[in-house]
């Protein structure tokens, strides 16, 4: 149990708040009961049930930083659909552009000029000159791995403990075993995991000369938040170059932390950059940037160009569709601007400072995670540097209790492995409301 938390009081709060939650949401309960006859757990995608300890909500709609469930309960959203919706709800530049494009054509299996504009904007922000588009970061990382293996003539892929690169077979490995059901051991046979922030361990693995790709987030974001040591990402790049290994930076989450992602701030460069979550627009989109030699390699190895030759296994029928490209262009040009990132970084600082103040008020051996608009409760005295150190900083029971307590008071908190984040739709009043409810919660559960 987390230091400073009374387990008896925590359990009593969960029981009380769970009853309040159920009684206030009869329409969601009815919808869920109906849906169970049609979908496992009554949801169209398994995570909609699996990510939350409380019963699943059915959503009616939203406006600005808030959404409503079908019972009329309103929530200030700090989960942001796990960073896939950082622009907020209701009418905005993205929804307007979607409506305009939908009547002109949703999908053509041919490019629109919006794709040029999106690729140019991503090049300007990230420095990567060439781009390809998918429907998710999982798809983007899958294609990057395939290109890297073909380009280098090697099979092995290195990832870091605590990573998450999508639900793809190659990266879903825990040590030497698949980390989920349905993945064959052979699928992860050529995947190697090393501790984050351990350049020595990485050097030993790369010295064999058989690694095609190192795939890493600039900061690990699926076990709360693990920041890179100063200079670590620069060392990773140098080791890859010295050993003929390609490097991919996966900024699916961290792109939402800063204008142009974390990489420019950390002086990190790679051969590939993968992005996803619709770049925060809610649209289904993933993409990857690459260097000029890799772009040339793709052009030289197109699938279907020569019936007598095998091309790269990349692409998908609805990838780069007109509707998604229109949405993402609007988000980049009108919402996620440099000035907007500066504003939400200030909001994130306000949130992290407030969490630290709550921790000091109760003299707890914790601290706040913080990076740009992202914050959260680190339930240990020191910020973690590795996945092994991150485990004590998280407590699923504490997180689940905080989530249901805050939901009953109009706050939609982050999932257990993440932390609350300020969005482009949030205000200072929204941040202060989160902190006020969090303060009430701590009063209920600390020893």
Structural domains in the chain, CATH included, are 7-86+339-445 (3.90.1150.10), 93-335 (3.40.640.10)
pLDDT for the residue numbered 130: 98
pLDDT for the residue numbered 304: 86
* Long-range pairs, 88-93, Cβ under 8 A, ≥24: 88/62, 88/63, 88/64, 88/423, 88/424, 88/425, 88/426, 89/61, 89/62, 89/63, 89/64, 89/65, 89/425, 90/61, 90/62, 90/63, 90/64, 92/334, 92/335, 93/330, 93/331, 93/333, 93/334, 93/335
- Contact between 106 and 116 under an 8 Å Cβ cutoff? The reply is no
pLDDT for the residue numbered 265: 87
pLDDT for the residue numbered 175: 80
pLDDT for the residue numbered 2: 87
pLDDT for the residue numbered 139: 98
pLDDT of the chain along its 447 residues, tens only? 688 999 999 999 999 999 999 999 999 999 999 999 999 999 999 999 999 999 999 999 999 999 999 999 999 999 999 999 999 999 999 999 999 999 999 999 999 999 999 999 999 999 999 999 999 999 999 999 999 999 999 999 999 999 999 999 999 998 878 999 999 999 899 999 999 999 999 999 999 999 999 999 999 999 899 999 999 999 999 999 999 999 999 999 999 999 999 999 888 999 999 999 999 999 999 999 999 999 999 999 999 878 888 999 999 999 999 999 999 999 999 999 999 999 999 999 999 999 999 999 999 999 999 999 999 999 999 999 999 999 989 999 999 999 999 999 999 999 999 999 999 999 999 999 999 999 999 999 998
């Amino acid at each position: 149990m987390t230091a400073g938390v009374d387990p008896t009081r925590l359990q009593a709060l969960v029981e009380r708040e769970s009853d309040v939650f159920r009684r206030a949401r009869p329409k969601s309960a009815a919808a869920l009961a109906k849906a169970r006859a049609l979908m496992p757990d009554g949801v169209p995608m398994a995570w909609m049930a699996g990510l939350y300890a409380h019963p699943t909500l059915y959503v009616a709609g939203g406006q600005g930083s808030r959404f409503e469930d079908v019972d009329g309960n309103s929530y200030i959203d700090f989960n942001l659909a796990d960073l896939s919706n950082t622009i907020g709800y209701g009418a905005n530049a993205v929804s307007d552009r979607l409506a305009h494009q939908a009547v002109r054509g949703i999908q053509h299996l041919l490019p629109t000029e919006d794709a040029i504009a999106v690729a140019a904007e991503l090049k300007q922000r990230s420095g990567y000159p060439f781009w390809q588009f998918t429907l998710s970061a999982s798809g983007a990382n899958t294609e990057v791995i395939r290109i890297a293996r073909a380009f280098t003539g090697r099979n092995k892929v290195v990832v870091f403990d605590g990573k998450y690169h999508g639900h793809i077979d190659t990266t879903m490995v825990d040590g030497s075993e698949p980390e989920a059901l349905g993945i064959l051991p052979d699928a992860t046979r050529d995947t190697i995991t090393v501790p984050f922030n351990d350049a020595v361990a990485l050097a030993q693995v790369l010295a064999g000369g058989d690694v095609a790709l190192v795939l890493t987030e600039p900061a690990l974001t699926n076990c709360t938040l693990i920041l890179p040591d100063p200079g670590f990402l620069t060392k990773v790049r140098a080791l890859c170059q010295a050993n003929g290994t390609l490097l991919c930076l996966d900024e699916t989450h961290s792109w939402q932390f800063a204008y142009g992602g974390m990489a420019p701030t950390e002086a990190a460069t790679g051969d590939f950059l993968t992005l996803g979550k619709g770049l925060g627009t809610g649209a289904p989109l993933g993409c990857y940037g690459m260097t000029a030699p890799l772009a040339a390699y793709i052009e030289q190895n197109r699938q279907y160009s020569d019936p007598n030759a095998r091309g790269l296994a990349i692409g998908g029928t609805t990838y780069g569709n007109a509707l998604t490209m229109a949405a993402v262009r609007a988000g980049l040009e009108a919402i996620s601007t440099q000035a907007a990132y500066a504003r939400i970084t200030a909001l994130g600082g306000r949130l992290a400072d407030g969490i630290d103040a709550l921790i000091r008020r109760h003299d707890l051996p914790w601290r706040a995670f913080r990076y740009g608009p992202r914050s959260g409760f680190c339930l240990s005295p020191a910020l973690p540097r590795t996945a092994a150190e991150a485990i004590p900083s998280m407590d699923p029971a504490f997180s689940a209790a905080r989530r249901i307590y805050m939901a009953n008071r109009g706050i939609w908190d982050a999932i257990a492995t993440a932390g609350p984040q300020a969005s482009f739709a949030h205000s200072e009043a929204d941040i202060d409301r989160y902190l006020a409810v969090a303060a009430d919660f701590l009063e209920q559960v600390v020893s």
